[in-house]
Structure 1
Amino acid sequence: MTEVSFSSQNYRVGRKIAQNQTSKDAEAPKNGRQKAQEYFQSDSEKAPRSSSGSVASGDHYLAIHASTYMNSETWLWGQKEKQKDTGKSGFGVTYRFDEWGQTDLNVRFELNEFNVVDQKPVKFTILPVIVFPEAGSQFPLYFGAGAGLGVFFKQIDQESSLSFDYQLFMGARFFNIAGSTGFFIETGIKNHVHLLSDGQFNGTYLALGALFTF
């Protein structure tokens, strides 16, 4: 009987020691390797993922949009006289890849069609774009600007195949309306200046598109 009692007491003591050791291990300070892993962890990994209707700082989004020109004018492009309503339509993709302060950093790819002296030039444009405020602010209205290079896939004879493109715009965006899909509407100016000739184009546009958050 004494041996059974003694064994039971030893079992309880051993169990108590094991529990204390486990508690100490859980509370033990992290070693250098664990601290280094946390330090070098990217902001996107540390940031919480977005909930419905919002975008977290670690999220990326892709916008697919179609646009039409509401008003446009051309100078010294195909002819010396000014031409009106030369901008026709556009299709583009905008990708938000990072956040800087209170702004979103994006890259925009666009394909635009024109109607100049009864010909239809087609231009592909790549623009780095800054948008304020950042998507994580959950404020629906936004303002943006971008500038980049335009390359004409189809151009009028004797005209530059390269252009300097710039855009100023504003819009309203609504994220995660149906799952991770939302939509936006945008308006602004799309202008370009030919780099190797005297042509110039100024246009105002309206765009509609879908937003995909991931």
Structure 2
Amino acid sequence: MKTIMYLITILTLVSFQNSYAAPKVGKRAAARYFQGEVASNESDVANQKVASSIEPLSPEDHFLTFGFSNYVSSDSYKWGQNGKEENVGKWGLDMMYRIGQYNNLIDQGIRVSYNEFEAVSKKASKLSFMYAITLPDAGSQFPLYFGMAAGPGVFMTQLEDESSLSLDYQLYLGLRLFNVFEKTGFYVEGGLKNHLQLTSDGQLNGTYVSAGAVFTF
């Protein structure tokens, strides 16, 4: 009799252990399992988007670039002397503000440049205000861009008997990435920076490189 009671006790304990160890099955258990899988997958996708995506700009968004530029080469003609002088252009600061978009094709902007020069061993500086068009528009997500800008230039310091006003025009090609760090990106750019003095014969033809930050808002 004791042996039978002993066997019954062992079987009872084993059955309780198996009931706790056996996995839960059925519709409710399956539903909870698949809900957990879906939530996990959605979380992974969201994390990937936060980590790797760079949101494109909409037509209503604005951006402002600010960077440092340096002349690679520059030649002046009849600026402070009758002949030609090389390496007149020095360094500069460049800023461009996007004011709008046209037909999902081009961006319109205001481009402001400050540049310093040294002609016939005398320093000069100029502030330029230009209207700019850039292709493609910022919403295209294509990193390469090119454009042109033109407008008046005002010399802050100028050589004696030279014009204090100029007609400035620029051609540029660059690479830009928006929203790399929240609302901040970066750009690198190169191109032409030229001007014609309006009330004198001086002019400048130069090439430059520039790099800086892009802020969106």
For the criterion TM > 0.5, the same-fold answer is: yes
Per the TM alignment, residue 150 of structure 1 is displaced from its structure 2 partner at its CA by 0.3
Which residue in 2 is equivalent to 1:205? 208
Q: How far apart in 1 are the matches of 2:101 and 2:196?
A: 30
Does the Cα contact within 8 Å between 1:53 and 1:174 map onto a contact in 2?
no
| Structure 2 equivalent of residue 52 of structure 1 | 54
The TM-score with structure 1 as length reference comes to: 0.75
Q: Which residue of 1 aligns with 2:183?
A: 180
State the distance in 2 between where 1:53 and 1:85 align.
41
Distance 1:179 1:53 in 2: 10
Structure 1 residue aligned with 2:174: 171
Structure 1 unaligned blocks of 5 or more: 1-50
Instruction: Report if aligned partners of 1:93, 1:110 keep a CA contact under 8 Å in 2.
Output: yes
1:92 is matched with which residue: 78, 91, 94? 94
RMSD of aligned C-alpha atoms? 0.9
Listed one character per residue, the Cα deviations across residues 1-28 of structure 1 (whole Å, up to 9, x for unaligned) are: xxxxxxxxxxxxxxxxxxxxxxxxxxxx
State which structure, 1 or 2, has the greater radius of gyration over its C-alpha atoms: 2
TM-superposed CA distance for 1:110, in Å, is 1.1
Residue 111 of structure 1 corresponds to which residue in structure 2? 114
Aligned-pair identity (%): 47
* Cα-to-partner distance string for 1:104-124 (whole Å, 9 max, x where unaligned): 000011110001011110000
1:142 matched to 2:153: no
Scaled by the length of structure 2, what TM-score is found?
A: 0.74
Q: Which runs of 5+ in 2 are unaligned?
A: 1-52
Query: Deviation string for 1:116-171 (max 9, x for gaps)?
Result: 01111000000000000000000000010010000001000000000000001110
**Which of 120, 123, 147 pairs up with 2:126?**
123
- Find the aligned partners of 2:57 and 2:200 in 1 and give their Cα distance: 43
Task: Give the partner amino acid of 1:100.
Answer: Y
How far residue 206 of structure 1 moved from its aligned partner, in angstroms, is 0.1
CA distance in 2, matches of 1:165, 1:173: 24
| 4+ aligned runs moved over 3 Å, structure 1 | none
CA–CA distance in 1 between the matches of 2:177 and 2:54? Answer: 11
Q: Give aligned pairs, total.
A: 164
Deviation digits for residues 150-200 of structure 1 (CA, Å, limit 9, x no counterpart): 000100000000000000111000000000000000000000000000001
In the alignment, the residues of structure 1 paired with residue 181 and residue 129 of structure 2 have an alpha-carbon distance, to the nearest angstrom, of 29
User: For residues 54 and 206 of structure 2, what CA distance do their matches in structure 1 show?
Assistant: 36
